[in-house]
Amino acid sequence: MAATIVRSPKLSLSLPTPESTTSNLPSLNRSFFTPLPKRRRCISIYACTADDQSNSAFGGEIKKGQAIELNKVNDENPYEFNAKDSPNPLPRPLTSADLSNMAPEGSRLRVAYQGVRGAYSESAAEKAYPNCEAVPCEQFDTAFEAAERWLVDRAVLPIENSLGGSIHRNYDLLLRHRLHIVGEVKLAIRHCLLANNGVKIEDLKRVLSHPQALAQCENTLTKLGLVREAVDDTAGAAKYIAFSKLKDAGAVASLAASRIYGLNVLAQDIQDDSDNVTRFLMLAREPIIPRTDKPFKTSVVFSLDEGPGVLFKALAVFAMRNINLTKIESRPLQKQALKVLEDSVDGFPKYFPYLFYVDFEASMADQRAQNALGHLKEFATFLRVLGSYPSDSGIA
């Protein structure tokens, strides 16, 4: 039986699409930062929010079959902020219901992350922005919305893990929200086995953590003969163990979580593979000015018409200019898939249309990158630059 953490009621938010923020980039071709003209967009573009939880690292509840229209504008719903202070001395994670007109306090940079205190995402936020005020958010969506609504200055969210792969939920949210990638940070994930004071390893019967953390410690947990129970996030598991004063259960979480919640570290570095790194994106309301005096990455998303060799042609625009691709990810356009049923056999579509996310090693200030995207724009049905930002070559 999986342990659960009680959540505050959530509002379903429909956000207005902010105006373009590229007016301060005179040296760039601004068309790269906007979708193509309507004549090139034969269909409405949708981002699917449905996902398998095993592929959505670091938690978040996902409603099956839900899809969000990218350009939908709806500002009719008012939002109210519950100003009652939590009895818990630790900061309560923001929920969708908290997103109101509250103003940032003080002059420190406020950075949103998903999870509770002690989460790996909090460490990534502090690495990306030293001395910042890290603001915990209950869901990935909440962190995006907090940055978009000026409640925080930045958001730092995971996008991929070297063992668990891509965090699909955040790929979809990059299209739903008009935030720009302004940097990346890589964090080594080192798991610890935590328990309450006085509890020994031999006393444990079960262990709680995020599904990916449990999978990353498979060998160790199997040797200990522990029953695995999945919860929303690693730090949340530590918090639950501590607040419930459990004597037969432990948590797989960070060393920082053990200090925050007063838990003992029964074992350190229990992950099966030491090469366990998560890449986080740094998000802001406005893009940064691309440069060529340091290594830069650029992230784009595009869609293509169906046809033989179309994807090959799209990737060739980078290869022929000697631009290295570091990541390619495809995400289905769920609603659009229904439009091809008329030409299907036995009710199944001939093909499923996709969005393609690509990261490449070049700055948008580099003429090669602008030429490559200009070439891609000739046959892509949709193209958007998500950000051009400094590469992170260090791991902490």
Closest CA to 170 of 301, 78, 276, 293: 301
Say if residues 138 and 7 touch (Cβ distance below 8 Å).
yes
> On the CB side of 86, how many CA atoms lie within 13 Å of its CA?
9
What's residue 107's pLDDT? Answer: 58
What's residue 164's pLDDT? Answer: 84
In order of 94, 102, 170, the CA distances from 395 in angstroms are 28, 35, 21
Clarify whether 280 is annotated catalytic: yes
Clarify whether 278 is annotated catalytic: yes
- The DSSP-derived string for 180-201 is EEEEEEEEE---EEEE-TT--G
Return left, alpha or beta for 68; rule: phi > 0 is left, psi -120 to 50 is alpha, else beta.
Answer: beta
What's residue 392's pLDDT? Answer: 84
What's residue 349's pLDDT? Answer: 52
Return left, alpha or beta for 106; rule: phi > 0 is left, psi -120 to 50 is alpha, else beta.
Answer: left
Closest CA to 334 of 44, 38, 40: 44
What's residue 93's pLDDT? Answer: 60
pTM above 0.75, yes or no: no
Instruction: Taking the CA atoms of 21, 23, 28 and 33 in sequence, report the sign of the dihedral they define.
Output: positive
DSSP class of 218: H
**Rounded to the nearest 5°, which phi and psi values hold at 51?**
-160, 155
Report the alpha-carbon distance of residue 287 to residue 283 in Å, rounded. 9
Per-residue pLDDT of the chain (396 residues; tens, 9 = 90+): 444 443 333 333 333 344 433 333 333 344 344 444 433 333 233 333 333 333 433 333 333 333 323 233 233 322 222 223 334 445 556 554 444 334 444 458 999 999 999 999 999 999 999 999 999 999 999 999 999 999 999 999 999 999 888 999 999 999 999 999 999 999 999 999 999 999 999 999 999 999 989 999 999 999 999 999 999 889 999 999 999 999 999 999 999 999 999 999 999 999 999 889 999 999 999 999 999 999 999 999 999 988 889 999 999 999 999 999 999 999 987 665 444 445 545 555 555 688 999 999 999 999 999 999 999 999 999 999 999 999 987 665
Identified catalytic residue from 33, 280, 318, 382? 280
What's residue 351's pLDDT? Answer: 56
Report the alpha-carbon distance of residue 156 to residue 112 in Å, rounded. 6
What's residue 333's pLDDT? Answer: 76
Identified catalytic residue from 278, 298, 318, 360? 278
> On the CB side of 27, how many CA atoms lie within 13 Å of its CA?
10
Q: Which two tokens stand for residue 327?
A: 């990541």
